[in-house]
Amino acid sequence: MPLLFYKYQGTGNDFILIDNRNGQFDSKNEQLVSFLCDRRFGIGADGLMLLEDHDEYDFTMRYYNSDGREATMCGNGGRCIAAFAVHRDIVKTPEHFKFMAVDGLHEAEYKNDIVSLKMTEVGSIDTKTGYTFLDTGSPHYVTFVDDNKNIDIVKEGSKIRYSKTFKPIGGTNVNFIQQIDDHTINMRTYERGVENETLSCGTGAVASAISTAIKQGYGNNFTVMVPGGKLQVRFEMDENNHPHNIWLTGPAKFVFKGEIEAE
């Protein structure tokens, strides 16, 4: 039986979306998910998401990396599945709705293919010499460089991702940040699970914006330039210089839909 799918992208971070409210998709089949995400033999995507029912909120989001394994939160994925839910008339009020994900409850706001997503609260922020480490729904290593254009992201990112330091948590995403001005940064990201550079990373943008605010001692509204476009991150800092009320905003666009025979 053909599998109906939808393709969405948020600043170049692309995803396969499946309406799984009937529960027919075999979510435990890692080989199937990996095949669908394969850019040569399948549909091609950075990840796959299932939209499923929730008893209390508008829906549940389940996210899988392109390696086939169910993963931690994806910010751009969350924005894309929010747009998908609006386009499928699954939410009653597109201006503001709620859904559940692996890291907890999220709020979303949709208008003209722009989605704002409220992110999870950040726990401890570990500031080390040369980098910052924090979890914004997914773990992120953030390092500042003078120029990130000529860095071999895959080579340098994989070294950190697979280092002994982060092995206990299954590795980390790695962000190389070039600061443009007090409220603008340029970000390139190596994503675990994809095991490559992606054109954008939502949780990485949030981690990088927060790291920038901590580094310079001020700021709560940032433009994050990524290879696939730009994102906006805003938050509030409390008296202990810790972020709260974190929102990620950017485009989330439908690309195409289709059917595929997949055993």
Annotated active-site residue in 32, 36, 43, 74: 74
Quick one: how far is CA 208 from the chain centroid? 13
pLDDT at 11 over 80: yes
Residues 6+ apart with CB under 8 A from 97: 57, 58, 82, 85, 91, 107, 108, 110
C-alpha closest to that of 241 among 117, 127, 100, 130: 127
Query: Quick one: pLDDT at residue 174?
Result: 98
Geometric angle at alpha carbon 227, from 226 and 231, rounded to 5°: 30
Q: Are 78 and 71 in contact (CB under 8 A)?
A: no
Domains of the chain: 3-119+252-260 (3.10.310.10), 126-243 (3.10.310.10)
DSSP one-letter string for 97-110: EEEEETTEEEEEEE
Question: How many of the other CB atoms lie within 10 Å of CB of 8?
Answer: 26
* Average of per-residue pLDDT across 9-36: 96
pLDDT digits (tens, 9 = 90+) for 34-53: 999 999 999 999 999 999 99
pLDDT digits (tens, 9 = 90+) for 69-91: 999 999 999 999 999 999 999 99
Angle separating helix axes 202-216 and 75-87, nearest 10 degrees: 130
C-alpha closest to that of 115 among 244, 246, 231: 231
pLDDT digits (tens, 9 = 90+) for 197-249: 999 999 999 999 999 999 999 999 999 999 999 999 999 999 888 999 999 99
pLDDT at 263 over 80: no
Active site residue 37: no
Q: Are 95 and 52 in contact (CB under 8 A)?
A: no
Annotated active-site residue in 201, 224, 233, 262: 201
Query: Quick one: pLDDT at residue 31?
Result: 96
Question: How many of the other CB atoms lie within 10 Å of CB of 213?
Answer: 21
User: Token pair for residue 224?
Assistant: 């994050």
pLDDT level of residue 1 (50, 70, 90 thresholds): confident
Q: Are 14 and 20 in contact (CB under 8 A)?
A: no
User: Token pair for residue 234?
Assistant: 């805003």
pLDDT at 109 over 90: yes
Write down the mean pLDDT value for the chain: 96
Residues 6+ apart with CB under 8 A from 57: 97, 98, 99, 100, 105
DSSP-derived pairing of the beta strands 13-19 and 47-52: parallel
Query: Quick one: pLDDT at residue 262?
Result: 80
pLDDT digits (tens, 9 = 90+) for 124-159: 999 999 999 999 999 999 999 999 999 999 999 999
* Average of per-residue pLDDT across 48-71: 97
pLDDT at 101 over 80: yes
Burial of 193 (0-12, 13-18, 19+ CB in 10 A): buried
